[in-house]
Structure 1
């Protein structure tokens, strides 16, 4: 995979998860107790042997920069290649929207790289993928573009790219749909192509009025390319809404999902923070939950995820909830079907309860 450069595009729509992305990018959302969403794509690239990774920064990049820093935790702080940040050009009210403009203004980064292929990905997916298999598939089929898809097992909504393929993987139809159903083949926003094809696509599409790389560069010009697709049959979650964020975190509590993502040959890396172990006091009772380092638990926690440094007081009951870093749940409180963002304080004997499929959200730094 030394011949492949990775690109993680963080220019994504966040309107369906706006409550938690007001000050952060979707890809820097805390996930599974100690990770961020971008960790899954970035770790998959590193585990596949990719050593040159460019991150297409969003409009609010601070949280991404703070998390990734030099890339040392992913072994990307290198003298040659390594981790690069590709900033978005300055926005003006009269200019075109969309991610294509950002690729166009960073074309010199691609043209000056030594790699032959470009692996274009999104940072809002949860998976653990070996991209070296994708490269072999791409070379064996002599495709212009190779994409990765998964077969959904339930109805989903959002920005879904649905494809149809022949038996040999040739893509016969590709379209963006607002809803998909059981058995649909949905793109994971992973595209592999030669650098020369990528550069030509970006330059031609942008200079002819295009705005979105996927829609204007790939879907609308699909007839001009030889596009193949290969299937990933492991766990996949696309975190593009509050409901999807909640469900995917709850999925992590399933042993088979946890083992596939975190206990296989390829690890998921994240920013290292040294914390003391969890303190379970005499009154603590924990069932089917994920508790991160630095937490102090005195109450009951069931089917929930607690991030680093959370304090759970006496007689507290937390169920089916996600409690992010440094939250303080004080004595006698009841929390069910709730997402608490960072640094939230729930004072004594408060009861918060959301719907089973649509949790109540408490935004960052709020005191209730």
Structure 2
């Protein structure tokens, strides 16, 4: 493909509360066996983009461990490959990334040393499938300076969480409001952009000279009337996991047959790092309904409408309903959990009860496992 990829995965998101205290948003577990960044990486690989840079910053340990081998997404190649860039202190620069544009600026050599004419920029915390060849063809046909992929939200969805765009009949963006108080349109930016590589370098350098560091407000919003910026509609599934409720609902969506079929049974595939865990084990008293159970789990109790990630142990007479249990959690006997997200590597003592009565409850217990 005639493009290189950049995945922005360095943001520090406080809206997911305790869930991002020890991991980047892009490393959030999804659908039992995946991480959020797997979807953007797979889309890049499936679109034949052979050279991808991931820009990371906050809580990068688990994300870097996940990306320690590029072979899982077919980037283990002589030409191109997967590059992970974190902020680097130099004689000329002592800053962390001060924004998305600054993150690109601090790694501008990656763009300057590349030869592909176009750049596809994507976010690492979005769940979707997309053929970037189609948006590139659209970008070229429109003779656009920048193309922004957008999603039309339903009436029950909150557009004020995102950048809201307005377009004319030709799909040219005439207004762009970043997280407005009141949304005047249901069309929101998905954080996916296509731009010519040389033009991106010029815009980023110009923004840095003026002390401007955010790609959306200092490039898209600032140049909306000066550059030819067009919108490209995404019709398939798309979800941003930037809040606790959105993260919970995204995982719950994978309990729907049509969503699972779309991501896991229809070409192209979503790839992820594979763990050498044994298959899930269901003991005689196990009772599981409409749930995703990952490898390494041992089930002794009742699980309903829930997503259990790798190496979860469910004790005798446990009841888990409408909940997400993250990796390596031990649930003791006689526990009742409903409408909760249980943080990874936690131990929930026997005979305890956790219920999210006014929304989704995040459970973060760090009891010593062998002291039960």
The reply to whether TM is greater than 0.5 is yes
TM-score (norm 1): 0.94
Q: Distance in 2 between matches of 1:218 and 1:157?
A: 18
Q: Which residue does 1:211 correspond to in 2?
A: 213
Unpaired segments ≥5 residues, structure 1: none
Q: Which residue does 2:143 correspond to in 1?
A: 142
Q: Distance in 2 between matches of 1:298 and 1:322?
A: 17
Find runs of 4+ consecutive structure 1 residues off by over 3 angstroms.
Answer: 89-96, 178-183, 364-368
Residues 315, 186 of structure 1: alpha-carbon distance in 2 compared, 3 angstrom cutoff: same
Please state if 1:122 is matched with 2:123.
Answer: yes
Q: Which residue does 1:353 correspond to in 2?
A: 355
CA contact (8 A) 1:277 1:293 kept: yes
State the 1:155 CA deviation: 2.9
Q: Distance in 2 between matches of 1:95 and 1:289?
A: 41
Q: Which residue does 2:301 correspond to in 1?
A: 299
The equivalences for 1:150-299 within 5 A come to 150-153=151-154, 154-156=156-158, 159-178=161-180, 184-299=186-301
Residues 60, 113 of structure 1: alpha-carbon distance in 2 compared, 3 angstrom cutoff: same
Q: Which residue does 2:57 correspond to in 1?
A: 58
One of 333, 342, 345 as aligned partner of 1:343:
345
Please state if 1:316 is matched with 2:318.
Answer: yes
CA contact (8 A) 1:118 1:195 kept: yes
Q: Distance in 2 between matches of 1:183 and 1:94?
A: 36
Residues 121, 10 of structure 1: alpha-carbon distance in 2 compared, 3 angstrom cutoff: same
Q: Distance in 1 between matches of 2:273 and 2:106?
A: 29
State the 1:7 CA deviation: 0.2
Q: Distance in 1 between matches of 2:157 and 2:12?
A: 20
Residues 81, 137 of structure 1: alpha-carbon distance in 2 compared, 3 angstrom cutoff: same
Q: CA-to-partner distance for each residue in 1:77-116, whole Å, 9 max, x for gaps?
A: 2211100122224499988832322221211110100111
Residues 208, 250 of structure 1: alpha-carbon distance in 2 compared, 3 angstrom cutoff: same
Q: Distance in 2 between matches of 1:178 and 1:256?
A: 32
State the 1:291 CA deviation: 0.4
State the 1:206 CA deviation: 1.1
CA contact (8 A) 1:53 1:82 kept: yes
CA RMSD of aligned residues (A): 2.0
State the 1:12 CA deviation: 2.1
CA contact (8 A) 1:157 1:179 kept: no
Residues 105, 324 of structure 1: alpha-carbon distance in 2 compared, 3 angstrom cutoff: same
Q: Distance in 1 between matches of 2:367 and 2:170?
A: 54
State the 1:326 CA deviation: 1.3
Q: Secondary structure at the match of 1:163?
A: strand
State the 1:245 CA deviation: 0.7
Residues 134, 191 of structure 1: alpha-carbon distance in 2 compared, 3 angstrom cutoff: same
Residues 319, 200 of structure 1: alpha-carbon distance in 2 compared, 3 angstrom cutoff: same
Q: Secondary structure at the match of 2:317?
A: coil
Q: Distance in 1 between matches of 2:366 and 2:66?
A: 19
Q: Distance in 2 between matches of 1:181 and 1:221?
A: 21
Q: Distance in 2 between matches of 1:343 and 1:366?
A: 10
Q: Distance in 1 between matches of 2:64 and 2:97?
A: 25
Unpaired segments ≥5 residues, structure 2: none
Q: Distance in 1 between matches of 2:339 and 2:292?
A: 15
State the 1:143 CA deviation: 0.6
Please state if 1:75 is matched with 2:74.
Answer: yes
TM-score (norm 2): 0.93
CA contact (8 A) 2:313 2:330 kept: yes
